[in-house]
A and B are shown apart, each in its own frame.
Chain A
């Protein structure tokens, strides 16, 4: 199919006064938890890297990994190819390690500082036995450390390892040494190198051969400190025939300064394994004038190492002042499958440059990309995606669909598809469309008794349906609500 026609010139744009009312909805997770924090001094040096490693009592291989990464990072330059504009980041003005003060990791939740439990309660992620979500195991990460992981014992009965990254380093160093950096090498990019040098905590998931993880796993990331960067590291390994569904959620308080979040996520799927990774990202986006908000520079990549392995990324990006993120798949295994389903909503002064890379190596590997960008306010929303067909990817296929929706008349949407093929027998399809919510569409819905806000929300959620359908059920409803919330407000 060919690209669908662009915006119908006859469709009048929505009256922007209505839309600006509509999109100025306060952020609901902007509170700060008042808790005593152990922080190291601002700034980054080899000493800081060593200090972080020492604080975590890491084995030598990990310190070496960090130091290699730090030296690499020093030789690299911050990338400037994305369609993003922001003042230079002062990497010496960031705290690289902050942890709520408490003795070691607690054996039981009863010993965790109630303020922390309360924080996660407020965020809708209750951790205590009585209240915790019934079919999702949660790892709660607060600033640089993991606070608690639920259902660990139950999962262990199935041989599933789900714990904080630090714990995994202590208890399963051989797995960490084997897989850490195997998907995203330290020199991959500037932010990945930075993360590799200073990462503090994150989640580790290991699903052994033949096991289907009995429940969804989830990590909830919370940035609390105002001057701290969050550098978490997530590693998920699914052995032969294993499968898991993993969810990630994130929020941060409202500060009028910017916080840096540079995470690395690595997924490894062996023969016939399947990993489904879903994200609902709602970092603080800054105020309506673009003051404050999270800089979200994230490297996410999965390798479909084994034959018939399957990695699926689903992301709903609604927060952050700046999003720089390309969850990718390296399709090495024959008949492996990679998927990327994305909704990126930008509003006010938010900027997003996001997309994916599908690198086809194995024969008959298949990939699907469905990207939905929604731009409102004065925001800029770019899709950037690479589809690469390697010389051996005989019979490989890709299908990409990139749709943009504009709300109001001051938002921008861009699409940058890159297609490289070294294999004449590979198929690449790209389809793109741009639409605007027209006044006539809104009037039609309104004239049937549906209020303006609900009409916008219905159309936006209709636009995103293909992606929301990929989310785990409880997440889909949340995502729908989140988008409605982001676009809702008092209409004058």
Chain B
């Protein structure tokens, strides 16, 4: 496993939003073929980590680096990261009225295909291309005619995210709390989608604070994040331990208290 190429290498990453430091030195290495889970309480910085990797403009990198396939991506625009193969599945996908879901999917797929030196798909061939991926997420084609995410239920939005992931064929897929707000059936569909798309050449980073998703997607690595740092890394058994014991013991063993994370510098 360790022979496979490194896809994501995060070194001592620090990032802030509105002058408040949220990431305080994150280190993480993800190789091809791996599935990682980043767990932690609300506010531990795990969602921020995903947004910083994807290039959200509200966050400023104040130190350290994010390298994707060896390239520092800090200066790349979000669209360039996407075209290079970074995918962020959002916790709360925004609604974009007036923009047709179908048209959006086609434009974004073609943007990625162009970067991969693949032929652009016209309206007709795109619909064919789309068909089998729709089946993967069991999505009704009527969603394609609607405005992007507008009026979609929580589960529909998440399935639409997995559909996008299936179309963009990312090298690194980051799924931010993809399991939140899903019922059992939607969770199964999403998990099946993720498992189906995971392969030896790509990697998945699951951001979650429940064990639930990890019953259906088994990560090789589980990281516990708190106070803007990864405090502990283990195998799948760590997730089960967290489920049983909560997060406090991780803080305690790392010598951090939840009240004053900054004390330990």
- Chain A residues in the interface with B (C-beta under 8 A): 12, 15, 435, 438-441, 443-452, 454, 458-459, 461-465
Contacts and interface: CB of A to CB of B under 8 A. Distances in A.
Contacts of A454: 107
Contact of B82 (A438, A439, A448, A464): A448
Nearest to B81: A447
A245 B74 CA distance: 53
Contacts of A435: 97
Contacts of A444: 90, 93-94, 96
B55 A449 contact: no
A50 B78 CA distance: 65
8 contacts: A439-B58, A444-B90, A448-B111, A448-B164, A452-B79, A459-B96, A462-B147, A465-B98
Contacts of A443: 56-57, 78
A450 B108 contact: yes
A445 B57 contact: no
B57 A449 contact: no
A438 B95 CA distance: 11
Given A446-B77, A452-B77, 20 more contacts: A12-B58, A438-B94, A439-B58, A441-B96, A443-B78, A444-B94, A447-B55, A447-B78, A447-B79, A447-B82, A448-B111, A449-B79, A450-B79, A450-B104, A450-B107, A451-B79, A454-B107, A462-B96, A464-B98, A465-B98
B112 A449 contact: yes
Contacts of A438: 94
A446 B82 contact: yes
Most A Cβ at <10 Å: residue of B57, B77, B98: B98
Contacts of B83: 449
Residue of B87, B97, B108 with highest tally of chain A CB at under 10 A: B97
Interface in B80-117: 81-83, 87-88, 90, 93-94, 96-100, 103-104, 107-108, 111-112, 115
A452 B104 CA distance: 14
A194 B78 CA distance: 54
B98 A448 contact: no
Contacts of A451: 77, 79, 111
A67 B211 CA distance: 86
B114 to A, nearest CB: 9
A462 B79 contact: no
A449 B108 contact: yes
Contacts of A450: 79, 104, 107-108, 111
A135 to B, nearest CB: 24
Contacts of B57: 15, 439, 443
Contacts of B99: 445, 458-459, 462
Contacts of B111: 448-451
A458 B56 contact: no
A462 B97 contact: yes
A449 B104 contact: no
Contact of A448 (B55, B77, B147, B168): B168
A443 B98 CA distance: 17
Contact of A449 (B82, B97, B103): B82
A445 B104 contact: yes
B54 interface: yes
Contact of A462 (B90, B98, B168): B98
B85 to A, nearest CB: 10
A464 B97 CA distance: 11
Contacts of B56: 443
Contacts of B96: 441, 444-445, 459, 462
A447 B96 CA distance: 14
Contacts of A446: 55, 77-79, 82
B258 to A, nearest CB: 26
A109 B202 CA distance: 65
Contacts of A12: 58
A440 B94 contact: yes
A448 B167 CA distance: 10
| 8 cross-chain pairs, A with B, having the tightest CB-CB distances, nearest first | A462-B98, A449-B111, A448-B108, A446-B78, A449-B82, A462-B99, A446-B79, A449-B83
Interface in B172-226: none
A175 to B, nearest CB: 43
A463 B78 CA distance: 23
A462 B100 contact: yes
Contacts of A440: 94
Contacts of A15: 57
Nearest to B114: A449
Given A447-B88, A449-B83, A462-B147, A441 B94 contact: yes
Nearest to A446: B78
Contacts of B94: 438, 440-441, 444
A450 B81 CA distance: 11
Given A439-B57, A465-B98, A449 B168 contact: yes
Contacts of A448: 79, 82, 104, 108, 111, 164, 168
A459 B88 CA distance: 21
A465 B146 CA distance: 13
Nearest to B147: A462
Contacts of B81: 447
Interface in B41-84: 54-58, 77-79, 81-83
B98 A463 contact: yes
Contacts of A441: 94, 96
B144 to A, nearest CB: 15
A396 B88 CA distance: 51
Given A447-B88, A449-B83, A449-B168, A459 B58 contact: no
Contacts of B90: 444
A399 to B, nearest CB: 19
B234 to A, nearest CB: 30
A403 to B, nearest CB: 10
A141 B54 CA distance: 53
Contacts of B100: 462
Contacts of B54: 447
B86 to A, nearest CB: 8
Nearest to B108: A448
A223 B79 CA distance: 42
A166 B100 CA distance: 47
Contacts of B168: 448-449
Given A447-B55, A449-B112, A451-B79, A463 B107 contact: no
A226 to B, nearest CB: 40
A459 B98 contact: yes
A464 B77 CA distance: 27
